[in-house]
Structure 1
Amino acid sequence: MAQGARTARRRWPLGLAALLTVLLVASGAVVVGKLLSRSAPAPGPVAGSATPAPETSAPASPTPPPGADITGPLNFLIVGVDTRVTVPGWEPHADAVMVMHVEPGLKRAYLFSLPRDLVVDIPAYPKSGYRGGRTKLTHAMSYGSRVPGDKAHPSTAQGYELLRITVSRYTGLRIDAGAVLTFFGFDRLIDALGGVDLYIDQRVASIHRRPDGQYRQHTAGGYVGPQMVYEKGTRHLNGWQARDYARQRYIAGGDYARQRHQQQLIRALVRKILDQGLARDPDRVQQVVRALGKTMVYAGGGTRLIDFAYALGGMPANGLVLVGLPGSGVGKDGAYRGEQLRPVARQFFTELRAGRAEAFLSSHPTLRVKT
């Protein structure tokens, strides 16, 4: 394999894998919930012993389904990490940070992204020895992952914890559960579904791939050679194409456009699963679960993933609302420092916490991501 290909594989930002957890929660929740409703026995009295119970015995209570006590609101944090596993001691960076807020009643959810370079206050974290500071959001993951006295083995769980605290303080949202993901399995998942139909809203030339799917050669001056190009319009994409398209950020709109494309891909995947009737096919369900299981580290705060999945099983396919939060670059003395969200984006958090998100989006329609 060429050196350029090895470099491209090692340095691929794994944030796109965050889509998988959203898929699991937003539509895989339906899949798991429906599967359980098919395979589990109907709720009823618990079977008794061989000796008949006295007639005065009280009947056993029906067994509630998983997650029966989960009513919302819920907030999920989905993190895609840039983990260069071939580099000893490499600290994970949060390459993609997504939050999904589910309304009370669990029928509608709002998905939004936070820029990886968002300038935030990261609190002190004694577990890693970090003293706190104001810097890019992506660094919360790496600063939190540090294990004093053991530079060779950073802790992804610690990194997630500090990132969760940082995001919670910035948005004012309590984070109920989340996941940190690597990439492996994403291509296989898309291909197992037969590809995905996606509306490409602008022409995108790939920095990393050739038209045949091979990685472009990487030199000291950058990538060279033929480029895969995604033309505007509805396209059918296979696994590597979908991933490659949604990872591009050196395009019109930059990282904000990449966030939009990732969200559009999420919705396309949700629709694909529901349109295929995947929830009624246990074998296909197991395919998805196996693929997801190899890419995800779940942090549930004491609640099982299956409980959240079952609780969200009644969410309709159109219940997932994509929200694009506008921002702009900030600097100091002419040097780029990071990103900041505009006041309308910060106001969205206020309305989201108050349960007025839908009314706010109706009066600010440009925040809705079109698909």
Structure 2
Amino acid sequence: MLADRYERTMAREHLLDPSARADRTDLDGPLNYLLVGSDRRPGDSSAEQRTDTILIVHVPKGLREGYLISVPRDLLVAIPPGGGYPGGEDRINTAYEYGGGGQAGAHLLSATLNRLTGIRFDGAALVDFAGLRSVIDLLGGVNMCVRDEVRSIHTDRIFHPGCQRMGGAQALDYVRQRYDLPGGDYDRQTHQQQLLGAMLERASETRLRTDPVQVHRLIQAVGKSLTMDTNGVPVKDLLLALHGLATDGLRGVQVPSYPQTIDEVSYVRLDNGGDGLFEAVRGTHMSQWAGAHPRWVTRI
């Protein structure tokens, strides 16, 4: 069975701090997962890994819709002690590094998020963004719609406005950009959400289901780029529970916040404590919150 093959391919770790782990293993919903994108560069040690992406994936009861909530990586938060770090205020994306990267870094990051939001997670995943390049290529590329012209600071590639098919290297280059964008890092968050939706859309196409060789290669590539904590739930059960979650039911959400410079250092601060977003996730009324806050919500 494909799910069993995927289970054997994927690395498994306990990624969640006990304070941040949901005390249940059922899949009836609502479900909350922590998705951490590690932007590891050649030569980096595990402790030098950056969290280029921090996403809270919220799936309300019924499992028919989902919200990808991007946590700003420069958000100023109180980081609890852990991994040899004494604790203190800093950008949230440093929690993973201070924790030592890998499993320990994910523990400190999840504990930080729990302290900030009060959310307990049903599982977590570490994503190696470099590994996603081969996944996207095996999918035959993904369809991305570029709103504003962007010049890559990494490759000098120019992304022209319009919808286009992007290969792995091009897509990852695009979603890493945040300079010279009208919305800065907020636009980068939207592009990352868009990429995840585009990958799910391509993976759901019938062509892949009828090509067992391609599916096998895709499973191998996904497994190499993911480390997961499913809270004891078999992957096949999770995939079965989420099979009705369509890409047109996904929404991208940005945490209500604003930039602020403190002692010549750029940070992001919560706007009115997040304007009720975290309470909406905990209280399972995200649909109502999204309807009342269209500024922070986009269709993927």
Say whether the fold is shared (TM-score over 0.5). Answer: yes
Candidates 123, 127, 134, aligned match of 1:181: 127
Paired residue for 2:22? none
CA offset at residue 205 of structure 1? 0.8
Aligned to 2:19: none
**C-alpha distance in 1 between matches for 2:146 and 2:31:** 31
2 CA distance for matches of 1:233 and 1:352? 33
Cα displacement (A) at 1:187: 2.0
CA contact (8 A) 2:38 2:127 kept: yes
Residue 121 of structure 1 is aligned with which of 78, 84, 93? 78
Matches within 5 A, 1:1-371: 32=3, 69-87=26-44, 90-125=47-82, 128-145=83-100, 156-209=102-155, 227-251=156-180, 252-333=182-263, 335-343=264-272, 345-371=274-300
More strand by share: 2
Deviations 1:277-301 (A, max 9, x none): 5345443332221111111111233
Structure 1 residues 359 and 88: CA distance shift in structure 2, 3 A: closer
User: Which structure has the larger Rg?
Assistant: 1
Aligned AA (1:288): L
Provide the secondary structure at the position in 1 that maps to 2:169. helix
Alignment partner of 1:105: what SS?
A: coil
1:32 Cα deviation after fit: 4.8
| Structure 1 position 304, deviation (Å) | 3.1
Q: Please, which runs of 5 or more residues in structure 2 have no aligned partner?
A: 8-24
Structure 2 partner of 1:41: none
The 2-side partners of 1:322 and 1:271 are apart by 15
Which consecutive residues of structure 1, in runs of 5 or more, have no partner in the other structure? 1-30, 37-67, 146-154, 210-226
RMSD of aligned Cα (Å): 2.5
CA contact (8 A) 2:40 2:130 kept: no
Using a 3 Å threshold, how does the CA distance of structure 1 residues 233 and 344 change in structure 2: closer, same or farther? farther
For the 8 Å contact 2:71–2:254, the answer to whether it is kept is: no
CA distance in 1, matches of 2:203, 2:268: 35
The CA deviation at 1:362 is: 1.4
**Equivalent pair of 1:96/1:116 in contact (CA under 8 Å):** yes
Structure 2 SS opposite 1:369: strand
In 2, Cα distance between equivalents of 1:180 and 1:89: 13
Partner Cα separation in structure 1 for residue 137 and residue 40 of structure 2? 24
Instruction: Name the amino acid aligned to 1:124.
Output: P
8 Å contact from structure 1 (residues 75, 102) kept in 2 = yes
Question: What's the CA shift for 1:344?
Answer: 7.6
Percent identical across equivalent pairs?
35
Alpha-carbon contact 1:84-1:90 (below 8 Å) kept:
no
* SS in structure 1 of the partner of residue 298 of structure 2: coil
In 2, Cα distance between equivalents of 1:88 and 1:191:
27
> Residue deviations 1:84-136, cap 9 Å, x none?
451457432322111101111211111111111111111122xx222211111
Kept after mapping to 2: 8 A contact 1:204/1:229: yes
